[in-house]
Structure 1
């Protein structure tokens, strides 16, 4: 099968017996070109299936109208919703989005940044991968004068605009809720990496215990990658302790669901014996049995704010731009998995009948 070469403005020029520069001007609606010529060029371009070379156009104009968006993974509802928020703003300004996944790999993240440079994107909006501790690849974007906005997983090692939720406050309030439900031995699933969101959630957990007169116990804090299987392994580890916790707050909904699976397999009642709470408000949390208490990260508003900061930086002189940090207040979503008092009351009432 013969593969057709990509049609260029030179092919159109040859077909119409005009110069390539005339074709280029006609395609860009130049007032210097007659309407008759413009119509002829557009008709030929359509017939020949001409596709403009956006990278070449970006080189000529210094602008591609494309934003590179980097997420750790696109199959998480949270990141997909953030991208939706970004696109809702970008589309109103005739901008398109290229989405790349780092898979939480530092090496992949570096390669992605380089690929976006080659694609001549006008700037980058990114959420840092769990395994990234060196930020030189992001600094390269800054050195090129490209707008760079971080969201959710950010770092203070870079002087860039950032959008995040108040992870500390969300964690503090969810632990406070568990304490109000009568929980006194609360475990925490965290991530060992230096990602800000997990450090802040751990800090919120620790301060909530301290401010309510409860001790911080190292054996109750279990680090992992916070995936479903990690939640299972972490819960199994906690069940080996002499004194089993009466609640688990996970920095991830996925790990919380892993813990739920193990507890149900062991016939341990949720929340009467062990209350559960996660973080993110992934869609599946409302369909679990029992539905999972969690923290809503306001993903779409976060994406919109990240895009707005991006365009604000895009139209500002790089030497005069002052990075902004926007912190959104998350929302607690209280469901049956943590309502220990209510469950215990129902159980007691049922036993009396």
Structure 2
């Protein structure tokens, strides 16, 4: 028997085997109430006819869809892709599918994505916020329905949900202190929107490292931009026009740091002799440029694994994320040639 032009149903299987639809349903769920012989017949026929189990309809009855929503601000990011790799690894191990939604750094799109995932009845959410996300009402329907939400990287701690982060303050302090130890006295900081926790905390670490070492904090040393190629070029030109120029710069993104370094070098700046540079993320580009880039290692895949494991353990009743407020992942300085002015 072959049925073309429409989806095979359990009624087709039942008619072909002359059994009830209840028997077919139980067999497809590998219920031991149905004999092994009958279950084998059902599975063999289902495979032959190309039957596809309606997981969504079945899971609506159990109030589970075995899907996780992964909401991020962009996909053109080595860090986000490494986080996704970690999430996918755990999801595959635990039997969950992933629905990916990205906002292109737009709050309106982020809110629309949240609404879509809510109506698709995902079992949980792993999210990193866009630049301009302030009102988090779009996550409230999940909370009201008891759907767990875990934020990572760009988080909003006042929301009260579990967050997975690194110690951005410590990393900002460590990067700036390293430049000071290399003899830098005027250190610029290139970053993004201070409305987001990751950038505000790194800036606070930068500022405190300067203060603790009796180095004046100058407003014009702070350059705020997006994380695009143009941002790297524009930041370099701002640095070139400063008088006196900085002798060190802490840039909160490796790609922007690489573009900034290229532009500085094209205009006669010797790195690190004239200006020492520290980036952030430990992206592959840091080893491809010359000189190689000193950076903060941001373990994205590990962060993804931790976030996904926390969520799936909660969904399976192994642990309760309501008892965990913040999970801090280790991140450390990786010293390379772009900042080494002393042996």
Same fold, judged at TM 0.5 (above): yes
Q: How does 1:211-250 map to 2 (within 5 A)?
A: 211-250=212-251
CA contact (8 A) 2:186 2:247 kept: yes
Aligned position for 1:349: none
- Greater CA deviation, 202-211 or 50-59? 50-59
Distance 1:326 1:320, change over 3 A: closer
Q: Which residue of 2 aligns with 1:59?
A: 60
Of 56-65 and 99-108, more deviation after overlay is shown by 99-108
For the residue of structure 2 that corresponds to 1:341, the secondary structure is coil
Inter-partner Cα distance in structure 1 for 2:285 and 2:68? 30
Paired position in structure 1 for 2:136: 135
Q: Is the 8 A contact 1:71 1:126 kept in 2?
A: yes
After superposition, the C-alpha distances for 1:156-178 in whole angstroms (9 at most, x for unaligned) are 23111111000110110110000
Asked whether the equivalents of residues 183 and 247 of structure 1 are also in contact (C-alpha less than 8 Å), the reply is yes
Matched, 1:14 2:15: yes
Q: Is the 8 A contact 2:280 2:296 kept in 1?
A: yes
2:78 — aligned with what? Answer: 77
Taking the aligned partners of 1:33 and 1:118, their CA distance within structure 2 comes to 35
Conservation of the 8 A alpha-carbon contact between 2:26 and 2:34? yes
Q: Quick check: 172-181 or 311-320, which moved more?
A: 311-320
CA drift of 1:88 comes to 2.8
Deviation readout 1:249-274 (Å, 9 max, x if unpaired): 11111211121121111021111001
Aligned partners of 2:251, 2:5: CA distance in 1, in Å?
Answer: 55
Shift of 1:233: 0.5
Distance in 1 (CA, whole Å) between partners of 2:321 and 2:294 is 44
1:58–1:120 CA contact under 8 A, matched in 2? no
* Map of 2:179 onto structure 1: 178
State the 1:204 CA deviation: 0.6
Q: Displacement of 1:316 after TM fit?
A: 5.0
Task: Specify every segment of 5 or more residues in structure 2 that has no aligned partner in the other structure, as ranges.
Answer: none
Offset at 1:73? 2.4
Question: What SS does the aligned partner of 2:117 have?
Answer: helix
What RMSD, in angstroms, separates the aligned Cα atoms of the two structures?
Answer: 2.1
| Deviation of 1:203 (Å) | 0.5
Q: Give the equivalent residue in structure 2 for 1:345.
A: none
Distance 1:320 1:181 in 2: 42
TM-score (norm 1): 0.90
Deviations 1:175-221 (A, max 9, x none): 00001111111111111251100110111111111111011111110
Contact 1:250 / 1:279 at 8 angstroms: preserved in 2? Answer: yes
Distance 2:341 2:321 in 1: 53
* CA offsets 1:318-351 (integer angstroms, 9 cap, x no match): 9993242011231101110111234xxxxxxxxx
Q: Give the superposition deviation at 1:315.
A: 4.3
Which 10-residue stretch deviates more, 97-106 or 149-158? 97-106
Aligned mates of 1:103, 1:48 — CA distance in 2 = 42
Structure 1 residue 298, shift from structure 2 partner: 1.7
The answer on whether the counterparts of 1:172 and 1:204 sit within 8 Å (CA) in structure 2 is yes
Structure 1 stretches lacking a partner, 5+ long: 343-353
Counterparts of residues 1-353 of structure 1 (less than 5 Å): 4-316=5-317, 321-342=322-343
In structure 2, distance between residues paired with 1:296 and 1:17: 62
Normalising to structure 2: TM-score of the pair?
0.93
Give a deviation string over 1:222-259, Cα, whole Å, max 9, x none: 11112221011011122112211111111111211121
